[in-house]
Amino acid sequence: MSATPPAPTPAAAAPTASDPLAHLVFFEPCIPGNSGAAIRLAALTGAHLHLVEPLGFEMSEARLRRAGLDYHDLAHVSVHPDLDAALAATGDGRVFAFTAATDVTLPQVELARGDVLLFGPEPTGLPEHVLTDPRVTSRVRIPMRPGLRSLNLANAATVAVYDLWRQVGYDGGV
């Protein structure tokens, strides 16, 4: 006699625009391919991508659409005229500014659903006036080998979003 397998447990509902996994904020991004890859990242994880103007490209640009492939309709993306508008749209989440200018590394930070992951433009990173904004909860650095400058923007955002998602147990994932 064989045992009946247990009924599958339903997966948690996928995050929505009103309840995103995270708010991914790109401050004045310059390279369309990075923002396109972030659109795909937002669709795959349930993050909400916020792009802060001025953008170094047009939203209709072919390189942006090619990098996002067919995920544009599945992602939550907003374009804001400035950082104030972007942060106002993220609600009360804590703001983590990603920069090489800190000793706090990503493995040291406890992230939570709804946190804001803030990244600067390629190739300069976040300017000092953004890093010292009182709404920034903490500066965070992604560990890497010494003497190297930085990860590609889309890759850094992916590392951060997936670390947050791991910390919340891949809620909503399969």
Tokens matching residue 29 = 């991004």
The answer on whether 150 is annotated among ligand-binding residues is yes
Give me the amino acid identity at 108.
Q
User: How many other CB atoms sit within 10 Å of the CB of residue 73?
Assistant: 7
Is residue 4 over pLDDT 50?
Answer: no
Distance CA(93)–CA(111), nearest Å, equals 10
Q: 25: part of which helix (H) or strand (E)?
A: strand 23-27
Query: Is it true that the peptide bond before 54 is cis, omega within 30 degrees of 0?
Result: yes
Q: Give CA separation, 174 vs 8, 41, 49, in Å.
A: 12, 15, 21
The answer on whether 18 is annotated among ligand-binding residues is no
Q: How sure is the predictor about 66, in pLDDT bands with cuts at 50, 70 and 90?
A: low
Helix/strand/coil for 26: strand
Is residue 126 over pLDDT 60?
Answer: yes
Overall average pLDDT of the 86-114 stretch? 96
Please report the DSSP string for 60-103 in residue order: T-HHHHHHHGGGGGGSEEEEESSHHHHHHHTTT--EEEE-SS-S
Tokens matching residue 131 = 């890093």
- Determine the pLDDT at residue 49: 95
Distance CA(138)–CA(167), nearest Å, equals 17
Locate the domains of the chain by residue range. 31-167
Write the class of the CATH domain 31-167: alpha beta
Distant-in-sequence, close-in-space partners of 70: CB < 8 Å, separation ≥ 6? none
**Percent share of the chain, pLDDT over 90:** 64
